[in-house]
A and B are shown apart, each in its own frame.
Chain A
Amino acid sequence: AQSVTQLGSHVSVSEGALVLLRCNYSSSVPPYLFWYVQYPNQGLQLLLKYTSAATLVKGINGFEAEFKKSETSFHLTKPSAHMSDAAEYFCAVTSDTGGENKLTFGTGTQLKVEL
């Protein structure tokens, strides 16, 4: 079974500060990992994904994430937070077992950006 743990249900940063959202996964097979963002009353928007091509993955809106197998982590970072980054962020995992498309999500981290 696969699982995802997101440390910190709420994270608050100042505008211009580093954003770090933590995600640890558990998977018995090589995982595919994703970060999604959800703005109020909207669906999920894909920020980036890891599919074993490169451990440092760059996504949209200046976000990136680094896959660390030894730490089973896939933390999301952004060098400088912007007010528009305030949203809920979800880490998700799946695997390539027979084309299975089931995403297992973490519980989400609400990011607040303060002036």
Chain B
Amino acid sequence: KAGVTQTPRYLIKTRGQQVTLSCSPISGHRSVSWYQQTPGQGLQFLFEYFSETQRNKGNFPGRFSGRQFSNSRSEMNVSTLELGDSALYLCASSFGDRGGNEQFFGPGTRLTVL
């Protein structure tokens, strides 16, 4: 069974630009969650999508948004990039039908904002 895939793996942008990251979950999984990992703040929850609906949202500004498609693939978008948005962005997929579901992570997208 294929794992979670994320594209692109690496991205370099400049301040003020916007970026879109993509995540393809494990087949059969309906939940996709996004996390930001930085050396200073650690792993922080961005949002979760389940069956094309945002089910949960972390404490991030509105510049961070996402969506999920009918095939469960998800994208997240960051507009008006800031230097502090440089991070590893991880997505995780699960069946999503209960809180104890195992979440499986992709390899991440490393975003560098110059």
Interface residues of A in 41-89 (CB under 8 A from B): 41-46, 49, 51
Are A96 and B100 in contact, CB atoms less than 8 angstroms apart?
Answer: yes
Q: Which of A42, A44, A49, A100 contacts B55 (CB 8 A)?
A: A100
Q: Which of A99, A102, A105, A106 contacts B98 (CB 8 A)?
A: A99
Are B105 and A90 in contact, CB atoms less than 8 angstroms apart?
Answer: no
- The chain B residue with its CB closest to the CB of A107 is B42
B interface, over-half SS: strand
The verdict on A24 contacting chain B, using a C-beta distance below 8 Å, is no
How many chain A residues touch B (Cβ–Cβ < 8 Å)?
26
Q: Which of A51, A100, A106 contacts B56 (CB 8 A)?
A: A100
Number of A-B contacts (CB under 8 A): 73
Are A44 and B90 in contact, CB atoms less than 8 angstroms apart?
Answer: yes
Interface residues of B in 36-68 (CB under 8 A from A): 42-43, 45, 48, 50, 55-56, 58
Are A102 and B48 in contact, CB atoms less than 8 angstroms apart?
Answer: yes
Residues on A lying within 8 angstroms of B by beta carbon are 32, 34, 36, 41-46, 49, 51, 90, 94-97, 99-108
